[in-house]
Amino acid sequence: MRKKMAAVLGAGSWGTVLATVLVDNGFEVIMWARRESTVREINEHHRNSRYIPDVHLPRSIRATTSIEEAIRDRELVLFVVPSQSMRQVARAAASHVRKDALIVHASKGFELDSLKRMSEVLKEELPNALREKIAVLSGPSHAEEVAKKSPTTVVVSSEWQQTAEMAQSYLINPYFRVYTNPDMVGVEIGGSLKNIIALGAGLSDGLGFGDNAKAALVTRGLAEITRLGMAMGARPITFAGLAGVGDLVVTCTSRHSRNWRAGHMLSQGMSLDEVLERMGMVVEGVKTTRAAYRLARQYQVEMPITNELHAVLFDRKDPRQAVEDLMCRGRTNEMEEIVQGW
Ligand SMILES: NC(=O)C1=CN([C@@H]2O[C@H](COP(=O)(O)OP(=O)(O)OC[C@H]3O[C@@H](n4cnc5c(N)ncnc54)[C@H](O)[C@@H]3O)[C@@H](O)[C@H]2O)C=CC1
Ligand SMILES: O=C(CO)COP(=O)(O)O
């Protein structure tokens, strides 16, 4: 029987590890990478040492710099590029993609110029015939742990239940448990906004604040994520799930999180440019902080943690002052604040 064929666009840590999941699930996988050196390393040495150093890739994974070669005739196409590159990559893919392909993106962020979610960007750029075939994959899933086949749970969502179920059936396996959720807006928003809070958690840990502070950030972060999410049309219950609290917990506590690590470096006095240079990988929370700051104004929603982090990142506000300002906000009622507009 012919193997199912998948393309993974984006050869960073997440795209590379998702390619290994698909191989485990019986797919023939081809990856698309921008850099010739990455393609060569994957094809000749079965490694992607810059992004996921300790992982040996299955020999069957091939890579190419030609997007056309990568996606031609593929029944599944995964988009796993940084959010700010999604439109450019989708545009390049549009004329080559099979008209009945299943499209899954696994990126966590908004397009900064338009403030659009990734599925909205894909819908605009890909052929109309694919509108019902777009899904998002999100949830608590650091590439490094999935690569070791550590038990991981994630969520797929689409406006079309059949599409979500098809994505679930392609991706699920005994170490990668995939749930569906019909709330695509909530799943995309939860996965994106948690990165802001993770930056804050890294800062908080780096400043020597303790577990109480982190619990506060996670819980009150969830409150403001829920507020903005609801204003944008998400269902609040989604934020109690994998794409909400699940991803917040993992990103705010894991040493694998680039967002947490970036926040931690900032707390040591490095400038934002230095931090990003040192990371050498995408830190989505930085642009997402800008996007959420604008969205909060557009939807007239209060987001105190996002506001303070915005000031720390872009106006060089002293993080200790930011924490003091958060702690000394006007008195309020926890539940009333969360359910504002519920
Ligand atoms: N790494 C992880 O554990 C997880 C990452 N994600 C999300 O997946 C997305 C990708 O992240 P990672 O793979 O971790 O990033 P990464 O920083 O490891 O790699 C990014 C990849 O995108 C490529 N790239 C950058 N600009 C590009 C462009 N204009 N066109 C084409 N390719 C471009 C880079 O060359 C690199 O191969 C992000 O939105 C991230 O939030 C989601 C869940 C887990
Ligand atoms: O989204 C992630 C885990 O679910 C990855 O988070 P970082 O980008 O902070 O590493």
179-225 tens-digit pLDDT: 999 999 999 999 999 999 999 999 999 999 999 999 999 999 999 99
Residues counted in the chain: 342
ipTM above 0.95, yes or no: yes
Do the annotations mark residue 143 as ligand-binding? yes
Do the annotations mark residue 85 as ligand-binding? no
Asked whether the whole model's pTM tops 0.95, one would answer yes
Across the chain, which distance is largest between two alpha carbons, in Å?
A: 66
Which stretches of 155-183 are DSSP H helices?
Answer: 161-171
What angle (nearest 5°) sits at the alpha carbon of residue 239, between those of residues 235 and 243? 115
Region(s) of the chain under CATH 3.40.50.720: 4-182
Residue 123 scores a pLDDT above 80: yes
Residue 254 scores a pLDDT above 70: yes
128-140 tens-digit pLDDT: 999 999 999 999 9
Region(s) of the chain under CATH 1.10.1040.10: 185-338
SS in 3 state form for 219-244?
Answer: HHHHHHHHHHHHHCCCCHHHHHCHHH
**Residues in contact with 151: Cβ distance below 8 Å, sequence separation at least 6, in sequence order:** 175, 177
Q: Which atom of ligand 1 is nearest to the CA of 256?
A: 3
274-316 tens-digit pLDDT: 999 999 999 999 999 999 999 999 999 999 999 999 999 999 9
pLDDT at position 342 is 54
CB of 190 closer than 6 angstroms to any ligand 2 atom: no
218-250 tens-digit pLDDT: 999 999 999 999 999 999 999 999 999 999 999
Residues in a beta bridge with 62: 30
Tell me how far apart the alpha carbons of residues 167 and 325 are, in angstroms, rounded to a whole number: 44
Q: Are 226 and 247 in contact (CB under 8 A)?
A: no
Residue 341 scores a pLDDT above 60: no
CB of 80 closer than 6 angstroms to any ligand 1 atom: yes
185-338 sits in which CATH class? mainly alpha
Q: Which ligand is nearest to the CA of 41?
A: 1
Best substitution site from 42, 51, 81, 83 to test ligand 1's pocket, by max atoms within 8 Å of Cβ?
81
Q: Does domain 4-182 have CATH number 3.40.50.80?
A: no
pLDDT at position 336 is 72
Mean pLDDT of 50-66: 97
Pairing of strands 110-111, 116-117: antiparallel
Tell me how far apart the alpha carbons of residues 65 and 256 are, in angstroms, rounded to a whole number: 28
Residue 117 scores a pLDDT above 60: yes
pLDDT at position 100 is 96
pLDDT at position 1 is 75
97-124 burial, b at 16+ Cβ within 10 Å, e below that, comes to: bbeebbbbbbbbbbbeeeebbbbbbbbe
The total of other beta-carbon atoms located within 10 Å of residue 4's CB is: 15
**Residues in contact with 53: Cβ distance below 8 Å, sequence separation at least 6, in sequence order:** 47
Do the annotations mark residue 282 as ligand-binding? yes
164-181 tens-digit pLDDT: 999 999 999 999 999 999
CB of 83 closer than 6 angstroms to any ligand 1 atom: yes
What angle (nearest 5°) sits at the alpha carbon of residue 13, between those of residues 213 and 15? 120
The torsion angles phi and psi of 105, rounded to 5 degrees, stand at -110, 150
pLDDT at position 339 is 63
Tell me how far apart the alpha carbons of residues 162 and 135 are, in angstroms, rounded to a whole number: 10
